[in-house]
């Protein structure tokens, strides 16, 4: 008499597809978490730079820095400011341990209502009298750039970036040494001066086209 062999319970192998799906989901969760934390430092504050570029979430909206430019326009009737500059965002952060909202090129004492600065939050050049703003320009890409501002009383004013006119309007100076640029700087804290990598000049000239 032959005995029937009992069939044992065979434990099936783990479902490889399910394991792959689970691993993919775990990887996705980790990736999302890293992306969320990429812009955050160890103390939970936003990292000032991401891959060498300014993290706008880290900008201190109450801070500015001044380029160490010593000079002013020869007179109040007309003028031309020329700046050739390279601004390294890494050096900027290393020096101040913050990202300021503004990099100020100059504040005129000859014409108290006139300044020129770069707004890091909006990525624009702005200044003059009345206040004019460019479209977005990237001053902090590590390359050398040329910035110009020119004006003539009763005529006009313009801002140029790398040879291209990016803003213009009538020139109408106003304000005093006390009320001029002080109004635009109200509530701002200066972090100090940042060295110019390039050169600058203030000229008795008006150049509205280039």
DSSP letter for each residue of 79-94 = EEEEEEEE--HHHHHH
pLDDT (0 to 100) of residue 62: 93
- Convert the pLDDT of each residue in 143-201 to its tens digit: 999 999 999 998 999 999 999 999 999 999 875 444 445 556 667 899 999 998 889 99
pLDDT (0 to 100) of residue 179: 43
pLDDT (0 to 100) of residue 175: 56
Distance of alpha carbon 156 from alpha carbon 167, whole angstroms: 11
pLDDT (0 to 100) of residue 104: 96
- Convert the pLDDT of each residue in 29-88 to its tens digit: 666 555 454 444 444 567 887 877 888 898 999 999 999 999 999 999 999 999 999 999
pLDDT (0 to 100) of residue 78: 97
Q: Please report, in angstroms and rounded to a whole number, the separation of the first and last CA atoms in the chain.
A: 110
**Burial track 56-88 (b if 16+ CB lie within 10 A, e otherwise):** eebbbeebbbbbebeebbeeeebbbbbbebebe
Q: What is the pTM assigned to this prediction? A: 0.75
Question: Domain boundaries in the chain?
Answer: 15-45, 49-203
Residue 133 in this model has a pLDDT that exceeds 60: yes
Across 38-188, the runs of DSSP E, i.e. the strands, are: 49-50, 53-54, 59-67, 78-86, 99-107, 115-119, 124-127, 132-133, 144-152, 157-161, 164-169
For 81, phi and psi rounded to 5 degrees? -110, 130
Q: Are 65 and 194 in contact (CB under 8 A)?
A: yes
The H or E element containing residue 32 is: helix 16-38
CATH class of 49-203: mainly beta
- Convert the pLDDT of each residue in 93-106 to its tens digit: 999 998 999 999 99
């Amino acid at each position: 008499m032959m005995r029937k062999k009992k069939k044992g319970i065979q434990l099936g192998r783990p479902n490889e597809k399910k394991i792959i799906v689970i691993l993919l989901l775990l990887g996705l969760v980790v990736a999302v978490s890293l992306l969320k934390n990429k812009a955050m430092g160890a103390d939970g504050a936003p990292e000032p730079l991401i891959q060498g570029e300014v993290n706008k979430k880290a900008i201190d909206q109450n801070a500015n820095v001044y380029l160490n430019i010593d000079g002013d326009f020869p007179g109040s009737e007309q003028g031309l400011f020329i700046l050739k500059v390279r601004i390294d965002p890494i050096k900027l952060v290393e020096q101040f341990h913050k990202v300021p909202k503004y990099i100020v090129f100059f504040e005129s004492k000859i014409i108290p209502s006139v300044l020129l600065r770069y707004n890091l939050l909006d990525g624009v050049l702005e200044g003059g009298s009345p206040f004019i703003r460019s479209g977005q320009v990237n001053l902090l890409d590590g390359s050398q750039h040329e910035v110009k501002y020119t004006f003539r009383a009763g005529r006009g004013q313009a801002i140029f970036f790398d040879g291209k006119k990016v803003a213009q309007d009538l020139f109408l100076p106003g304000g005093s040494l006390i009320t001029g640029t002080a109004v635009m700087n109200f509530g701002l804290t200066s972090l100090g001066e940042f060295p110019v990598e390039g050169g600058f000049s203030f000229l008795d000239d008006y150049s509205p086209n280039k």
